[in-house]
Amino acid sequence: MKEKNKVWFITGASRGFGKIWTEAALERGDKVAATARKLESIIHLKDKYGDSVLPLELDVTKPEQVKDVIQKAHEHFGKLDIVLNNAGYSLVGTIEEASTDEIRAQYETNILGPVTVIQAALPLLRRQGFGHILGTSSNVGHITFPVIGYYCSSKWAFEAIHESLAAEIKQFGIKVTIIEPGAYATEFGSQESLKFASTLDVYDNFKAEFIKGLQTMERGNPQATSQALFKVIDSENPPLRFNLGSNNLTSTKSVYSERIAEWEKWDEISVSAQG
């Protein structure tokens, strides 16, 4: 049964899943500290939802700002039931093309940003004795694609961090769930959610074919995700990993079957290396 008036802290609330889930939580009567890099992109929520929403400006790559904003949200509402790390973007470019600065910026937002939020929130959640940390990952947290390899790698790291986190904080009564969306018709493919690495002509045809394939991929309706997410956060025993969409499980099982088959093929030589 749903506890009344849950309080959410959501990063990346101005677009995509963050926007959809912020508004859906408010519509169902919850309260939300909604954050975004530009306050003007979310301030309009006050007009519709009044005191149920607290819009806050937040750049997750700024640790001191993260700490301050988390504290403000907790003091304002008196608790935080759900901390949802949703901010992120994809770097488009082959492994050879992307510069170290572009890769570093990707990791600052997609990995270190969420970690900073988690580290700022945990002392408050521990004192409460409850809480649920959610992180928006992707099905590419298990599989990979070319051209967005660094984005995929950021989600692999994101998955590992949250799995370790879940084991570490279970003792404090705090839950962890990794949300793994497949392809959805959100603004994630927009210029605001994508950054492009410098290009090398040798990859032009390869990237054009890859992007063409992405454009024809079946995409889910993001508006259909909120009720599924509410079932997870209202559950007494939420999953550590939660697929969003109908295609993830099939593709992930296929990839893992291939990996296991290859490991088994080489197992005799692998075992011989034990000594």
Please state, in angstroms and rounded to a whole number, the distance separating the CA atoms of residues 218 and 251.
Answer: 13
CA distances from 145 to 88, 101, 136, 149, 183 (A): 18, 21, 18, 6, 13
Question: Choosing from 14, 137, 154, 226, which is the catalytic residue?
Answer: 137
Please state, in angstroms and rounded to a whole number, the distance separating the CA atoms of residues 170 and 233.
Answer: 16
Q: Does residue 155 have an active-site annotation? A: yes
> Who's near 93: CB < 8 A, 6+ residues apart?
102, 147, 150, 196, 197, 198, 199
Q: First vs last Cα of the chain: how many Å apart? A: 55
Please state, in angstroms and rounded to a whole number, the distance separating the CA atoms of residues 136 and 159.
Answer: 10
β-pair type (131-136, 241-244): unpaired
Supply 223's token pair: 């508006």
Please state, in angstroms and rounded to a whole number, the distance separating the CA atoms of residues 148 and 211.
Answer: 10
**Residue listed under structure tokens 């677009």:** 15
Kindly provide the b/e burial profile for residues 197-212, where b requires at least 16 CB atoms within 10 angstroms of the residue's own CB.
Answer: beeeeebeeebeebee
Q: Does residue 151 have an active-site annotation? A: yes
Is residue 86 within 8 Å of 110, Cβ to Cβ? no
Q: Does residue 4 have an active-site annotation? A: no
Question: Choosing from 155, 175, 184, 226, which is the catalytic residue?
Answer: 155
Question: Choosing from 89, 150, 151, 184, which is the catalytic residue?
Answer: 151
16-27 and 226-233 helices, crossing angle to 10°? 70
Q: What residues act catalytically?
A: 137, 151, 155
